[in-house]
Amino acid sequence: MKRLATIIVAALTSASPAFAHTADGLAGGFAGGFMHPLLGPDHIAAMLAVGLWGAFLGAPAIVLLPVVFPLVMALGAVLGILGLPLPGIEIGIAVSAVVLGLMVALAAKPHLAITAVIVGAFAIFHGHAHGTELPDGANALAYALGFVVATGLLHLAGIGFGLLTQFPRGRMAVRAAGGAIAMAGLVFLGRLI
């Protein structure tokens, strides 16, 4: 268990501090949008946590959270593309990993509506970051479709691991993964402040 948590923390914290929020070298369109979230450990951590939390909570959250996040994230992206300011984007993204990881680690089971609001609030920050990084001349719709698909796949990966909650040791492993994500979020946050 401790070894799994150590591996997760090492993987999440060993990447570059630049996060996913630069589009340097990425083409626009679907490929650029798809790769954008996959290049940032902060985004990966939060997306895995959404899937883990959904799996931990079970039905209907296992379906609702991975639907709410991309939908609200797309709205945040539109705000970013339009150039509407949102203060503290990177801090909001880092805090999302902390909070979502803690929800899993602490086995938090708030009312489904509160869960959806928490996930949706953080989705705005992630989406805004993606929207503001839309490369010049890129097809915004294809780019958005790319990052929504990548985000959905990260949610599915979290759900896949989260299904281990059906077993006593699996439940402990999922909670440990949530703790590791929360710790990684604190590292991301520390790099920003």
Q: Residues 21-31: pLDDT tens digits?
A: 444 445 678 99
- Percentage of the chain beyond pLDDT 90 is 75
**How many Å apart are CA 151 and CA 38, to the nearest integer?**
8
Q: Where are the domains of the chain?
A: 30-192
CA dist list (Å): 136 to 22, 28, 165:
13, 8, 44
- Percentage of the chain beyond pLDDT 70 is 86
Q: End-to-end alpha-carbon separation of the chain, Å? A: 31
What is the rounded average pLDDT for all residues in the chain? 88
Under the banding of pLDDT at 50, 70 and 90, the label for residue 149 is very high
Q: Residues 96-134: pLDDT tens digits?
A: 999 999 999 999 999 999 999 999 999 999 999 989 988
Give me the torsion for CA of 111, 116, 118, 120, rounded to 10°: -170
Under the banding of pLDDT at 50, 70 and 90, the label for residue 135 is confident
Under the banding of pLDDT at 50, 70 and 90, the label for residue 1 is low
Do the beta carbons of residue 73 and residue 105 sit within 8 Å? no
Mean pLDDT along residues 11-36: 59
96: CB partners within 8 A, 6+ apart: 42, 46, 49, 122, 125, 126, 185
